[in-house]
Amino acid sequence: MTIKPIYYYITALTGFFGLFALLMLWNTVLAPSTRLPVALVLLIAVTPLLLPMRGLLDRKPRSCAWAAYVSLIYFLHGTGEAYVNADERLYASLEVLLSLMLFFGTTLYIRFAEKQH
């Protein structure tokens, strides 16, 4: 029994949009920055995630690969934030989980979708 590649793609999309929503909520409602403007924090936090978005939605393998690479930035940020900041450990752990969903979802989708064609 094999898992269809569409399930990996759904996992990747769940991780992508979950990460997007988490970053938007974390930096605006849940724990906004007191030192930097919210718009600047959002620009820095969300822009890398938006770069491969169009290709990811079109299921292009190259854009899926780039989304996997970009998700590693959020993995590193989440692990560092979870280690350093105890007050926001829940949000950081969720960031790690969602970035791993995006990484493994895109990686496995690329691998198994090519075998079907």
Q: ∠106-104-5 over CA atoms, to 5°?
A: 55
Average predicted confidence (pLDDT) for the chain:
94
Q: Indicate if the pLDDT at residue 117 is higher than 60.
A: no
Residue-level pLDDT at 33: 86
CB contact at 8 A, 74 and 99: yes
d(CA 5, CA 39) in angstroms, rounded, equals: 37
What are the tens digits of pLDDT across the range 36-69?
999 999 999 999 999 999 999 999 999 999 999 9
d(CA 35, CA 16) in angstroms, rounded, equals: 27
The whole-model pTM stands at 0.92
Residue-level pLDDT at 2: 79
Show me where the domains of the chain are located: 5-116
DSSP one-letter code for 85: -
Instruction: Read off the tokens for 21.
Output: 């929503």
What are the tens digits of pLDDT across the range 16-45?
999 999 999 999 999 988 899 999 999 999
